[in-house]
Amino acid sequence: MGKHLKKAVLPENYKNYVFDLYGTLVDIRTDETRPFVWEKLALFFGYYGAHYEPKELCSRYGEIVKEQESNLKKVLDVRRQDSHESSPEIEITSVFLQLYRDKGISADEQLAVYSGQLFRVLATDYVRLYPGTREMLMHLKTLGKNIYLLSNAQRIFTAYEMKDLGISSYFDDILISSDYRTRKPDEQFFKILVQRHLLDSAQCLFVGNDSKCDIAGAQNARMDTFYVKSNISPENDEAEDANYIVNEFFEWEI
């Protein structure tokens, strides 16, 4: 049973602080199911000769994602030398490249990136920092702490959103799952960070809003954990075995 806190105030006795992004530092609302998204995206694809009906584009997008995830999982499972199950993370640019190729269009990677970014913008209602996020990160830096990000995300979305929000510079390193073809809760993703920076896991506090991906994953990597139940945590999510628990998270405090 972890320590329940009324306010989201991080303990200061750790050397390394590893953060999840969405639902922990950044509040975001997206909806990829709206017809508007696929209508506008189909129009954009048509500009470059890849003519889709909106429902066709939506359906084919989902099929390609599933196909690529399945193929990547097979590769990762073959490579593994332990009993843990792999958690594949495809690079979404390849999905948009395939959507063009399906229509006989030899799109370059830049067009695929722009297509993916347009898709993200169309599906996003808002993206913003939780109150107090910047001040909390600044406080950790003034204390001389190391700050890292470990996010299940796509670089072509996340790197740009972090830059727009003005928080990229607070991190000593930023690991985005699409770059590594694996994601939380896979222990391999955590190990990449630990090994790259020669971190002592006992001196790491992982901060996240998902009991499985963040808390269980970090615990398997032998890190202490700080759980915040935010507005975009999984439904009915609980993390009673986290070291610190904030069940009603709205803002960061110092």
What are the tens digits of pLDDT across the range 51-79?
999 999 999 999 999 999 999 999 888 77
Q: Express each pLDDT in 73-112 by its tens digit.
A: 998 887 766 656 689 999 999 999 999 999 999 999 999 9
Average pLDDT, the chain: 96
What is the spatial distance between Cα 79 and Cα 149, in angstroms, rounded to a whole number? 25
pTM of the model: 0.94
